[in-house]
A and B are shown apart, each in its own frame.
Chain A
């Protein structure tokens, strides 16, 4: 389903759910769209892709037709090789102030929570909120929690957190309402670097519990 979002973007809706299989189709189609010269950039999300184009060189109907051609090439077997990333995480204590309260709420031990969080491989469904923030899922059902009732005004960069059926990492210091389980020493965003982002939408991610990070925590 294609609809205009203003005169310079078109929204592709492939479904209406947060679902790993549907999201893989989103990333596969987003990759196919890069070969259309009129496309300025795409924003793959959970079940949609927003395509930005230049209205001075391409009309809405032209871009719509070009996108429909690509959609017809996208069959159920379309597979895009994903990057696999391992992310070291120091769980609990000062690095993960919400680990113990979250475990209590979920009727799990902290170590059981860490095991459930780190044994799965997650998909980066989309990125946003702040530059480089990966929305990842899907969490084990036993880890589902609502957001904090009062968001923190400052969550430190590198905080690994969960909310609802998702997990994420704060790339820069920012306000935040997710439950902070731990901290990664990796830098997710560096505007001065040639490759400013650690993650890309569609990546596969696994957390590796560590005992100590570079800060000696």
Chain B
């Protein structure tokens, strides 16, 4: 414990974020942990992906549980575990799927907030049934702003992944810590994460490039997520989708949720770090309301189905989720 106090007085030269006060140190990390916010907008035309959280619902919930400003940075953790050592009293919220939080003897479920005293160690551990955890801190993390956003885009060298030894900064919360602690996310607002989700999709501009049989295959069969998924895209495995038109598409803009069908007929769903444009025909686009369900699908295990909706219906559904 005394070693840790030294850390408080002399910040490690490795990396210190921002200018506000230091709040936690990353002491151990496996997997990929990056800062993310609601995304980097306005740079798509230059080829910069939007980035931001893979699961926007869990991201927003983590901040709202702590009364943080809506665009606050959180830590997105994937495929591993992270251990923090707290440098001052604070409150954390962890949301997402497939993780739990441990503090010496207690285990906290996700979608709650918990008080963390200076000197405590908190570990976010991988369990089954999801991919991404969102770790928000009272006040919000103060990580570097690059091109108007705190989102990290590793392939483009915009921001960097967290590593052991990093000391993280946070803004001073405006709400009293004791009022923020021990909150639960309301059950009636919950996102229905599932191992057998039916994702709502809107037909995409090249939907008529596929045969009627190909369209039937897409809407009537089950797909699984390939184990090599990442923040850029989710490759799905299942019955190949047949094309009627095999000419090359002239590259055009695409977005998170765009479902491209390359030559092998296996769908690729573009995710948060999606390239801004692509040249494979798109059969459909996952709605924003359904993206969190897809983001948290477990590789190989989850059975994914698609259901066609029209754009008006998708927008109404989204508004209802946000207004809840």
Contact = CB atoms under 8 A, between A and B. Distances in A.
A37 B178 CA distance: 41
Interface stretch (A49-57, A73-81, A95-103, A148-156): A49-57
B315 A48 contact: no
A191 B156 contact: yes
B47 A45 contact: no
B318 A7 contact: yes
B47 A131 contact: yes
Given A8-B255, A41-B41, A133-B47, A128 B276 contact: yes
Given A6-B286, A130-B156, A17 B250 contact: yes
Contacts of B311: 4, 7, 60
A122 to B, nearest CB: 17
Q: Could you say which of B44, B46, B252, B275 has the most chain A C-beta atoms within 10 Å of its C-beta? A: B46
A132 B157 CA distance: 12
A42 B157 CA distance: 23
B288 A6 contact: yes
Interface residues of A, number: 47
Interface stretch (A82-90, A178-186, A196-204, A209-217): A196-204
A167 B282 CA distance: 26
B250 A50 contact: no
A32 interface: no
B253 A48 contact: yes
A65 to B, nearest CB: 14
Interface string A23-47: 0000000100000000011111111
A206 B322 CA distance: 49
A116 interface: no
Given A191-B146, A191-B158, A11 B44 contact: no
B155 to A, nearest CB: 8
Interface residues of B, number: 41
B324 to A, nearest CB: 13
Contacts of B277: 43, 45, 50, 126, 128
A47 B4 CA distance: 58
B205 interface: yes
Nearest to B259: A6
B314 A41 contact: no
B287 interface: yes
A16 interface: yes
A49 B253 contact: yes
A42 B202 contact: no
Contact of B252 (A45, A59, A196): A45
Q: Which of B202, B250, B314 has the most CB of A within 10 A?
A: B250
B145 to A, nearest CB: 11
Interface of A: 3-9, 11, 13, 16-18, 30, 40-50, 52, 55-56, 59-61, 126-133, 135, 172, 191-192, 196-197, 199-201
Q: List 6 tightest A-B contacts by C-beta distance, closest first.
A: A50-B253, A6-B285, A43-B253, A7-B314, A48-B252, A128-B47
Given A7-B311, A59-B312, A60-B315, 20 more contacts: A4-B311, A5-B204, A5-B255, A7-B315, A11-B252, A41-B42, A41-B43, A43-B276, A46-B251, A46-B252, A50-B252, A55-B318, A126-B277, A129-B275, A132-B47, A135-B251, A172-B157, A191-B146, A199-B46, A200-B46
Interface of B: 41-48, 146-147, 155-158, 202, 204-205, 250-255, 257-258, 275-277, 282, 285-289, 311-312, 314-315, 318-319, 322
23 contacts: A5-B205, A7-B289, A7-B318, A8-B288, A9-B253, A9-B285, A13-B205, A40-B42, A41-B45, A48-B252, A48-B253, A50-B253, A56-B319, A60-B315, A61-B312, A128-B251, A128-B276, A129-B47, A130-B155, A131-B46, A191-B156, A201-B45, A201-B46
